[in-house]
Amino acid sequence: MDFKVRLSRFLRFLFPLAVCLAVWELLAFFDILNPNLVSSPSRIIWKMYELVFPNPILLVYLGRSLYRLALGYALGAVFGISLGILMGMNRYLYWIASPVLSLLISIPTIAWVPLFLFTVGIGDETILLAIFLGCFFAIVYNTMNGIRSIKKELIWASQIMGADRKIIFLEVLLPGASVSIITGLRLAVGYSWRALVGAEMLASISGGIGRMIYAARAFNDVNTMFTGLIIIAVGGLLIDHLVLGWLEKKTIEKWGMVKKRE
């Protein structure tokens, strides 16, 4: 895409935001809105600056949150994809596990947190478990569906042509399920992001973005809360667009399994 087109698209995306921020700032400036309750963009930006210089507490928290997210997500992805493949390939396992899965999938992740607080205690382990559970189910479900949706004829065809189990697995099942697996991975990023924020509020003892928002309530510190919200929004958007968009482009778009995104 042409650089100019991209830039104009980006500016067009930013324009409504800029208008809203300007209106907000003006309303707060003329005391129409109570600044102690709703703050104002300039105060929030100043707060962000204060949180980074001289003591980069915001970056430390962000680092911790991202570390938890990465670890929990990686665990969820590894176990989720493996179990999903097993459930997709083995009919009996599917019969037994899929009802259990559909029962567990309907439980909000946050409901597990009090239980983990009980069993593994307050701290990182609980947050990790929550993130793991948050993304695990979506990945298992989509991987399983991906494998099960592959047409029998494709497997038969490759068997006739002399493919052994290993080749069928690597060259038929995995690529065939990849669209679905990546959909699951993509959904799971949102889920684990959500689980991270919730679990940090209830169970963190060493900071994190979710904890920061929650702790600021005790001081009625609206600026810090908005800072946290902005970071969560932008972070979620960046992870989805940059990391997963890149992954999608490198894999399934290249193999021609989905249409290129506009």
Partner 1 sequence: MKTGIFNKSTSRFFLQAIIVFAVFMSLLLLWEAISFFGILNPSLISRPSEIFLDMWKLFLKRSPAAQSVLLVHIYSSLYRLFLAFSLAAGVGISLGILMGYSQRIRWFLEPLITLAMPVPGIAWAPIFMIWFGFGDPTIISVGALAAFFPIVYNTTTGVRSIEKEFIWAARSMGADRKTIFFKVLLPSSAPYIFTGFKLGLARGWRTIIAVEMIAASLWGLGFMIFDARDYLRPSIIYGGIIILAVVYLFIEGLVKLVERRTIAKWGMVRPEAM
Angle between the N-to-C axes of helices 57-89 and 174-203, in degrees from 0 to 180, rounded to the nearest 10: 140
In the set 23, 167, 237, 242, which binds partner 1 (CB under 8 A)?
A: 237
Rounded to a whole number of angstroms, the minimum distance from the CB of residue 161 to partner 1 is 32
Q: Does 136 bind partner 1 (CB under 8 A)?
A: no
| CA–CA distance, 167 with 164 (Å, rounded to integer) | 5
Note whether 23 and 203 are within 8 A (CB).
Answer: no
Q: What is the amino acid identity at position 25?
A: E
Note whether 236 and 193 are within 8 A (CB).
Answer: yes
In the set 210, 227, 248, 252, which binds partner 1 (CB under 8 A)?
A: 210
Which 3 state secondary structure label does DSSP give 250? helix
Site string for partner 1, 90-119 (x = CB under 8 A): -----xx--xx--xx-xxxxxxxxxx-xxx
Buried b (16+ CB within 10 A) or exposed e, 62-76: bebbeebbeebbebb
Pick the closer one to partner 1 by CB: 99 or 171: 99
Q: Does 64 bind partner 1 (CB under 8 A)?
A: no
Pick the closer one to partner 1 by CB: 172 or 213: 213
Closest CA to 69 of 187, 189, 182: 189
Q: Does 61 bind partner 1 (CB under 8 A)?
A: no
Report angle CA 257, 246, 208 to the nearest 5 degrees: 130
Rounded to a whole number of angstroms, the minimum distance from the CB of residue 172 to partner 1 is 23
List of residues contacting partner 1 (CB under 8 A) = 12-17, 19-20, 37, 95-96, 99-100, 103-104, 106-115, 117-119, 138, 141-142, 183-184, 187, 190, 193-194, 197-198, 201-202, 210, 213-214, 216-217, 220, 222, 225-226, 228-229, 232-234, 236-237, 240
